[in-house]
Amino acid sequence: MGFRPFVWQLAQRFGLRGHVLNDPEGVLILAVGEALPAFQKALRAEAPPLARIDQIEAEAVQIEPGDGFEIVASQGAGAETRVTPDAATCPDCLSDIRDPSNRRYGYAFANCTHCGPRFTILRALPYDRAQTTMAPFDMCDACRDEYENPADRRFHAQPVACADCGPRVWLEPDGGDPIAGAAARLAQGEVLAIKGLGGFHLACDATNAQAVDTLRKRKHRPAKPFALMARLGTIRQYAQVSPEEEALLQDAAAPIVLLDKGGAALPETVAPGQASLGWMLPYTPVHHLLLDALDRPLVMTSGNLSGEPQVIGNEEARQKLSGFADAYLMHDRDIARRLDDSVERITPHGPMILRRARGRVPGTLPLPEGFEDAPQVVAYGGQMKSAICLIKNGQALLGHHLGELDEALTYDAFLQADADYADLFDHSPRMVACDLHPDFRASQHARSKGLPVIEVQHHHAHLAACLAENGWPLDGGPVAGIILDGIGLGDDGTVWGGEILLGDYRGYTRQAWLKPAPMIGGDRASAEPWRNALVRLDQAGLSDRADALFGDKPLQIARQAAAKGVNAPLSSSAGRLFDAVAALCGLCPDRQSFEGEAAMRLEALGQGTQHAGYDFTVDGSCIDPAPMIRAMCADLDAGAKVAQVSAAFHTGLARAFAAPAKALIESGAARAVALSGGCFQNARLLAEVVDQLPDVPVLLHTHTPANDGGLALGQAVIAAALAR
C-alpha cells in the first residue's frame, strides 16, 4: 500500500536519519532526529489511502543511523502483517489512462500503491511480484525505474505494468480495438462476458429491456435483481444518492450499494418488484475505459452457471459461459482466487454489509478486550452463505463469501479457501469451531481436521458475532439477543429462527421465541411460501381461507404430514413467517425463484408506508403470530393495500420482539440488546426494532453480515472464550 515510501518521504521532510522495513509484526521504523514527535503524529494523520494503523508503539533504542534515511529489505518470516484487499482505480491512475500524453493512456491495467489488484492475484506470501499472477510479466525499463524509486507512487507496486510489458486485453471473437468493439456490441443489445478482478461478469445495456430479458432467459434467472455499474453522474439519474451513500460508492472497496430508485426509470426487468437497485462504480481501468466509450448503465452480474461459483479462467469462461455470452472481453492476467462483489447499504443506523467479499477481504477485525491471549482458532460457518474465520494474535480474519456448500464446486472452493487462508496467514489452529448441525458439510469438514471441535448453536453464533464486531468485552456481561433468521438447529432438536437469547460468548439461555409451526416438506418450505401460509392459517383458525387460496395444492397430504411430523420439523423461523405473510399477500406464493424473494418484495411494497402495527400474543415465552394473521386477513378482505399490510406486519413483529428484550434490560438481566440474523438485513425491520428500543444500548452489524456470512466469526470467538 506504499507505506514504506510514505515513511521515507516523511523522514525526508522532517530531516530524520535511519531506515524503515517490513517485518513479521508490521512496519519497523528506526529513526533519529529532532522532529520525531511531529513525524510520529504525521504517520497517523497522513497515512496512505489503503493503510489501516491499528497501533503505533514507540520506544528509545541505541542505533547508528547513518547519514540519510533508507528503505531496506524485509526481515524475518511469518504473516502477522495482513494482505491488503483489492482496491478500485485511484484518481491518479484514472488520470493516467485518460491523458493522451501519458505512456499509460488507454492502458487497461494501470495501478499503483494506492489502488489495483492485491488479494485476487496473490498466490503466496510474502507479497512480492514473483508470488503473484504478475510473475510472467517482466517489467520494462520504464516500469522498473518507477518500481525502484521511493519517490514514485509505484514504488514496489507489485502489479506495476504498462502496454509494453504487462497484461493485455482483447475481444473474442472480433479482434480489433477491444474496448471500442465491446462498447459497440453492448450498444447493439448483446451480452458480454467481461473478465474483472475476482471473476467474470455477464454484462448488457441496462437501459435495453430486450437485452436484459435475453440475459435473464439465458441465465434462467427470472426475478433475482441484477447488479448495475455506472459512473456517479449516471447513477444519480436513476437513484437517490445521499452523501453517505456517495461516500460508500467511492470507497476503495467499490462495493455494490443498494440505492432507492429515483429520477429516470430503468426497465422493471432489471430488478422485478424491488424498490432499490444495486449500483457500483467502475473499479478497474477496463471498466472505466468501457464506460468512457459507452456512457450508460450496464448490468454486471456474476458470470457463472446456476448454483456454481463465479468463473475465473479464460478457457473455463469459453466453456461455461458460451450459452450466455455473445462475446468475451478477456485478459491474460490470471485470477488467483475468485471474489464476488461485496454488497452493502446505508441505513438510518449506519452501514450494513449483506455480502462481504471483494474489497473487504482479507481485512481483519480487532478482537474485544479479554481476547488478547486467545488461541489460534479456525471456524467454518454454516451451510449457506459460507465463510471461514481465523483468529490469530488478537485479530479475527473473516474470509470472503463462498456460497452454498451443497454445490460441489462451491464446496471445492471452500476446501481451497481453508488451505489458502491457513497458508497465507501462517495459521496453525489449536481448535476448530462449527455449527451444531451434524449434516452441514462445514461441520463434517471441521470434524475431519483431527483437532478439538467446539460445536456452536447457530443462533448463539449470530449473537456472538454481533458482540465481537461491536467490541463487547469478554467479561462485559450478558446481553439480550434478538435473533431473527431462516433456520438453524436448536439445542432442543427443533429448528429455530425467531428467538430472544440472554447470554454472552460463553453461553446463553433461550428467553422467548416465535410459536413453532411445521415446515411441511422440510427444505421445500423455504422455497414454496404457500406451505408456510397454510400452517399459519391453520394455527389461526382460518383453514377455510387456506382451502380457498391454495386449493390447487395437495393440502390434505400436507396437513397429514404436519400432524404426524413426517418431514415437517417444527420451526420458530422468522424467515418462514415472512414467507407466509408474503404468500397471503399474493407475493410469489407458489415458489421463490431465489432465496428471500418473497420477503424482499414484501419489504419493498411497504416502503414509505406507516401503520400502528398488528398485535402478536405473548404467552409466557411464546410469541404467537395468530392474532396478526387474523387481523391481516381481515384487512385484506376489507380492501387494504398490500403496502399497508406490509407496514403493519413489520411494525407488529418489531414490537413483539423488542418488548421482551427491553424487559430484560429493565430487570437488570441484560446490559444491551444485540440484533442479528438474516432478517435484520431488512432495513425496514431493523429500523422498526431500533425505534422500539429508545434509551437502550443496541448493538448492530455494520462491518460483518448479520446473515450466515457472519456465523464463522461468532463461532470463532465462542471457541476462543471457552478455551480460556
* 54 in Cβ contact with 366 (< 8 Å): yes
The single residue of 17, 22, 545, 724 carrying the catalytic annotation is 22
Side chain identity at residue 79, one-letter code: A
Residue 407 φ then ψ, to 5°? -75, 125
CA distances, 640 to each of 546, 579, 585, 646, 652 (Å): 19, 19, 10, 10, 16
Alpha-carbon distance of 304 to 51, in angstroms, equals 33
Alpha-carbon distance of 29 to 46, in angstroms, equals 16
Scan for cell 510472467, then name that residue: 136
H-run or E-run covering 518: strand 517-518
Cell digits of residue 66: 547513518
Side chain identity at residue 515, one-letter code: K
Which positions ≥6 away from 464 have C-beta within 8 Å? 456, 504, 505, 713, 714, 715, 717, 718
DSSP codes, 31-91: EESTTHHHHHHHHHHT--TT----------------SSEEE----S----SPPPPPBPPPH
* Of 388, 369, 476, residue with least CA distance to 433: 388
* 342 in Cβ contact with 356 (< 8 Å): yes
Alpha-carbon distance of 437 to 380, in angstroms, equals 12
The residue length of the chain stands at: 724
Alpha-carbon distance of 672 to 661, in angstroms, equals 9
DSSP helix, strand, coil percent of the chain (3-state; round to 5):
35, 20, 45
DSSP codes, 172-239: ETT-S-HHHHHHHHHHTT--EEEE-SSSEEEEEETT-HHHHHHHHHHHT-SSSPPEEE--HHHHHHHB
* Of 579, 574, 669, 664, residue with least CA distance to 623: 574
Residue 379 φ then ψ, to 5°? -125, 145
* 462 in Cβ contact with 483 (< 8 Å): yes
664: left (phi over 0), alpha (psi -120 to 50) or beta: alpha
Clarify whether 208 is annotated catalytic: no
Clarify whether 4 is annotated catalytic: yes
Maximum CA pair distance of the chain?
A: 91
Residue 445 φ then ψ, to 5°? -65, -40
- Residue 280 C-beta-side C-alpha neighbours within 13 Å: 26
Cell digits of residue 236: 444519480
Catalytic residues: 4, 22
